[in-house]
């Protein structure tokens, strides 16, 4: 009986930790909706360097392949203004916050107050992006949230070789203007902290949560 229980504990431990990423995943640096229309591009990321921009339509591929963490060079076809173009995306391990956290978005009317409202209407987002404060003068939203590492999907959001007892997330969101005046520049600076024992330590973001968040707020804003 003891041997049986011990085996179960090992299986449960492996099930909990197998989703944790220990190395920065390769990414193509873009976000698409379910129709494969590009809704976000990491500024100076792989897709951006390949010439892909918001509102482009990805052809002859799938969302799974576009979001794959494989490191192989991808030959993609895009549709832009009824014309098709060929491009090559060379996936990278984006560990630079200035690239990972800045997205080129289509000019779809998204604002910080709208994003705050979208979060407030979603119990799932509220847990992760609970509003701490908002600077109405500068249009900056500060959020804080705690993530349960027992939920395997939450472990996808960080890079760690440990099994934390708690994950904390602090986020700063704002828009800026720049030379890309036909698009919006959305900054989403995330700081993850993992608790190991009694010690909190910063851990890198995998970029997965940023991708999911862009999808959710863009979809909610379209209704």
Print burial letters for 150-179: b (CB count within 10 Å at least 16), e (below 16). Answer: eeeebbbbbbbeeebeebbbebbbbeeeee
Q: What is the pLDDT of residue 179?
A: 61
81-134 pLDDT, tens digit each: 999 999 999 999 887 776 788 999 988 889 999 999 999 999 989 999 999 999
Round to whole Å and give the CA distance between 193 and 138.
26
CATH of the domain at 11: 3.30.530.50
What residues make up the domain containing 211?
A: 2-221
Q: Examine the pLDDT at 69 and tell me if it is beyond 90.
A: no
Q: Examine the pLDDT at 178 and tell me if it is beyond 90.
A: no
Q: What is the pLDDT of residue 8?
A: 39
8-30 pLDDT, tens digit each: 333 334 444 445 577 888 999 99
15 versus 217: which is more confidently predicted?
217
Mean pLDDT within 47-63: 95
Do residues 54 and 104 make contact, with C-beta atoms less than 8 angstroms apart?
yes
Round to whole Å and give the CA distance between 41 and 55.
10
pLDDT grade for 57, boundaries at 50, 70 and 90: very high
Q: What is the pLDDT of residue 13?
A: 40
Round to whole Å and give the CA distance between 145 and 166.
11
Non-local CB neighbours of 174 within 8 Å, separated by 6+ positions? 112, 138, 139, 140, 141, 186, 187
Domains identified in the chain, total number = 1
Q: What is the pLDDT of residue 7?
A: 42
């Amino acid at each position: 009986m003891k041997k049986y229980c011990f085996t179960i504990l090992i299986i449960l431990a492996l099930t909990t930790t197998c989703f944790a990423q220990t190395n920065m995943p390769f990414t193509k640096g873009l976000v698409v909706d379910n129709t494969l229309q590009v809704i976000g591009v990491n500024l100076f990321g792989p897709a951006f360097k390949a010439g892909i921009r918001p509102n482009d339509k990805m052809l002859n591929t799938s969302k799974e392949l576009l979001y794959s963490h494989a490191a192989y060079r991808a030959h993609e076809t895009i549709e832009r203004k009824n014309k098709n173009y060929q491009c090559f995306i060379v996936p990278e391990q984006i560990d630079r916050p200035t690239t990972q956290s800045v997205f080129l978005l289509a000019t779809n009317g998204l604002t910080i107050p709208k994003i705050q409202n979208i979060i407030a209407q979603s119990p799932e987002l509220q847990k992760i992006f609970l509003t701490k404060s908002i600077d109405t003068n500068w249009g900056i939203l500060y959020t804080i949230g705690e993530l349960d590492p027992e939920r395997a999907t939450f472990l996808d959001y960080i890079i760690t070789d440990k099994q934390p007892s708690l994950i904390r997330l602090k986020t700063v969101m704002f828009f800026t203007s720049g030379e890309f005046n036909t698009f919006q520049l959305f900054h989403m600076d995330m700081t993850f902290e993992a608790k190991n024992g009694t010690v909190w330590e910063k851990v890198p973001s995998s970029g997965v949560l940023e991708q999911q968040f862009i999808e959710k707020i863009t979809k909610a804003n379209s209704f």
